[in-house]
């Protein structure tokens, strides 16, 4: 009975979301353009160089289908070539995890993960302690892709620290918090939910991309924690029209999956 009531509520919310879309005449494609504009406000090299990496989910709707068409092995090799690397053997990539060049370490660990190089796991686990956020983030994400959860404590520790900063009004690492929480959500970690809920409330200038990322991420945890439907539904009232559109689309998808 409770399940039926919950799904009826979801159905009504989906209809409301779709009604909003009709009224506003919103398509999904403008999201790509607005998020690309937001990306220009960020300086980290990974955002400007790669279609994957921190905040890749900001790049617009139907991200997953777009990402599947990209040959990331070729992309990572291309960037390594740009920085003087032409040997893509497993051993050389492992050796590059000790390079002084941050980009060498970053792209190497991503390529090792994309290639599912099991022999590289010990060195990738060492990379979890890298001084660069981008390198240890990539190491944790790549290990999770290989069903190795050694990076989860590191990710959660960062979330806890950055969440405390957020509560104090320090948003310096909030975008990084979004990156980390997304990786945890993709790995099915319900422990990411409190942080994602917090990110959904971030309403400073140019924060819509972070809220969209958090919205998509929390939607991926619905199967393990159905209560997140309330968080998704609340975004139907967001001031940003494209976030309202995203929330309606996610609710519709969840209903269709039942």
Q: Encoding tokens for residue 109? A: 């660990």
The domain tally of the chain equals 2
pTM assigned to the model: 0.75
Residue 55 lies in a domain: no
Could you report the per-residue pLDDT of 25-66, keeping only the tens digit for each?
333 333 333 333 333 233 344 444 544 455 443 333 445 555
Residue 102 shares a structural domain with residue 155: no
Residue 32: per-residue pLDDT: 33
**Domain end residue (candidates: 85, 117, 145):** 145
Q: Do residue 180 and residue 225 come from a single domain?
A: yes
Q: Which pLDDT tens digit goes with each residue over 98-136?
A: 999 999 999 999 999 999 999 999 999 999 999 999 999
Question: Residues 6 or more apart from 115 whose CB is under 8 A from it?
Answer: 73, 90
What pLDDT does 49 receive? 55
> What is the structure's pLDDT at 205?
86
Domain boundary (145, 176, 208) is at: 145
Q: Are residues 119 and 167 in the same domain?
A: no
Please indicate, yes or no, if residue 60 is contained in any of the structural domains.
Answer: no
Which residues, including other chains, have CB under 8 Å from residue 174's CB and lie 6 or more apart? Answer: 162, 165, 166, 199, 202, 210
Q: What is the pLDDT of residue 257?
A: 86
Does 187 have pLDDT greater than 90?
yes
Q: Which CATH number does the domain housing residue 78 bear? A: 1.25.10
Which residue bears the tokens 């409770």?
2
Q: Cα–Cα distances in Å, from 67 out to 47, 71, 141, 235? A: 15, 9, 16, 25
- Angle between helices 193-200 and 174-186 in degrees, nearest 10: 140
Give me the mean pLDDT over the 222-247 stretch.
96
Q: Provide the domain limits for residue 100.
A: 68-145
**Does residue 172 share a domain with residue 242?**
yes
What is the per-residue pLDDT for 31?
31
Q: How far apart are CA 130 and CA 34, in angstroms?
A: 33
My answer on whether 224 and 179 are in the same domain is: yes
Measure the N-to-C terminal CA separation of the chain; round to a whole number of Å: 15
pLDDT at residue 69 in the model: 74
Shortest CA distance to 144 belongs to which of 117, 178, 183, 115? 183
């Amino acid at each position: 009975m409770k399940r039926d009531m919950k799904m009826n509520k979801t159905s009504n919310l989906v209809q409301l979301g779709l009604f909003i879309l009709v009224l506003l005449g919103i398509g999904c494609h403008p999201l790509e353009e607005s998020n690309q504009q937001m990306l220009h406000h960020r300086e980290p090299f990974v955002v400007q160089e790669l279609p994957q990496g921190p905040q890749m989910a900001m790049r617009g709707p139907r991200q997953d289908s777009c990402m599947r068409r990209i040959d990331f092995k070729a992309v990572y090799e291309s960037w390594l070539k740009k920085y003087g690397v032409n040997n893509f053997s497993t051993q050389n990539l492992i050796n590059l995890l000790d390079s002084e060049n941050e980009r060498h370490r970053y792209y190497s660990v991503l390529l090792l993960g994309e290639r599912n190089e099991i022999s590289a796991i010990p060195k990738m686990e060492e990379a979890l302690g890298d001084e660069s956020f981008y390198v240890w983030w990539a190491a944790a994400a790549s290990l999770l892709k290989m069903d190795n959860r050694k990076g989860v404590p590191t990710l959660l520790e960062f979330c806890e620290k950055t969440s405390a900063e957020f509560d104090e009004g320090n948003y310096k690492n909030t975008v990084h918090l979004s990156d980390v929480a997304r990786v945890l959500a993709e790995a099915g970690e319900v422990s990411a939910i409190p942080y994602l809920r917090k990110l959904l409330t971030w309403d400073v200038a140019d924060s819509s991309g972070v809220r969209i990322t958090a919205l998509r991420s929390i939607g991926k945890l619905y199967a393990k924690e159905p209560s997140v439907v309330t968080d998704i539904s609340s975004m139907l009232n967001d001031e940003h029209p494209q976030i309202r559109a995203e929330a309606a689309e996610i609710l519709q998808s969840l209903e269709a999956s039942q």
